[in-house]
Amino acid sequence: MGAALLATLHSAVPAMAQEIQERTIRFGHLLNKDHPVSKGVQKFAEIVTARSAGKIKVKEFPSSQLGNELQQQAALQGGTQEMMAPGTSFLTGIVKEFGVLDFPFIVSNEKEADALLDGPLGKRLMDRLPQHGLVGLAYWENGFRNVTNSKRPISRPEDLDGLKIRVMLNPVYIDVFKAVKANPVPLAFGELFTALETRAVDAQENPYAIILSNRFHEVQKYLTKTNHTYNAFAIIVSKKFWDKLSPAEQKILQDAAVEARNYQRQISRAATGQALTELKEKGMVINELSPAEAVRMQQISKPVIEKFEASYDPDTLRLFHSEIDSIRKNRKM
């Protein structure tokens, strides 16, 4: 090997080492440590630590320790927190087109959800975040949402009439539940258990793992398998922090978010069936919304969807419908 080439290789080693600095990433989310999103953060931390030779450390802050989603978003935008995992529904406050993911009954299983999120539509939505001080890395799973309440089983849309149901601070969810004559109450997640316990609200809707992890079964008797929407977490980085990273550091975080996504989805899907079994064992009365009643609920919600679509970016909307048409075509094959 020539002396010139050896000199080049030796000089490259310290240069590559300098691309990765000592850093600590504060990663906040709203869920408890036993939830699959926490397992995903832990896997992400392991990967980042290994790929950075221990230089980049990820410190998890679960259970709303760093505040609610709005507070954490502001911290990311201000550069005082590095990462968070908000529900995509929350992001409608800054990119309203994320609301297409909240339309009821658009996907029927996890495979279809993955195709929608990991494809061109998911990328298009993430690409809108940097102008708001955020960078999106990947979509992790929350799961299909289901209704619980303290009043009665929900067998048809009319059974929701008059129920005070906690919903996210999301206009699509608010209007969909108004359409079925429920009384939607926007409320921060951290306040939900107390609101259910004191009967300030009668009902809520979340995936099974969240219902179990947050002990909603202790204050809710009825669980209806509605599967009305599929919900994902967006893995988000502060753009102020991201812009300080070298390309090598950015690649470590991006690759780790995707690799951890695959693990987190696997954990989440395994937890879903187990959570439902445990909720039944803990005394919840469980029933299922029939396919025909789900279609009725979708039809009742149609004017709401049309209202929101009228205000969305036309290019994003065309892409959304193209992706949904492709998913439904594959469903029939």
Kindly report, residue by residue over 117-145, the tens digit of the pLDDT: 999 999 999 999 999 999 999 999 999 99
In whole numbers, what is the pLDDT of the chain averaged over residues? 94
> What pLDDT does 10 receive?
45
Give the pLDDT score at 7.
45
The verdict on pTM exceeding 0.85 is yes
Residue 14, CA atoms < 13 Å, CB-side half-sphere: 4
Instruction: Choose among 101, 70, 76: nearest CA to 88.
Output: 101
Q: What is the pLDDT of residue 1?
A: 46
**235 within 8 A of 26, measured Cβ to Cβ:** no
Percent of the chain with pLDDT strictly greater than 90: 92
Query: Taking 90 as the threshold, does the pLDDT of residue 234 lie above it?
Result: yes
What is the rounded (10 degree) CA torsion for 156, 160, 161, 162?
160
Q: What is the pLDDT of residues 145-180, one digit of tens each?
A: 999 999 999 999 999 999 999 999 899 999 999 999
| CATH of the domain spanning 23-332 | 3.40.190.170
pLDDT attached to residue 16? 53
CA separation for the pair 150, 166 (Å, rounded)? 12
pLDDT at residue 15, rounded to an integer = 42
- The string of pLDDT tens digits covering residues 268-320 is 999 999 999 999 999 999 999 999 999 999 999 999 999 999 999 999 999 99
Please report, for the chain, the start and end positions of each structural domain, with discontinuous segments joined by +: 23-332
**From CA 176, how far away is CA 185, in angstroms rounded?**
12
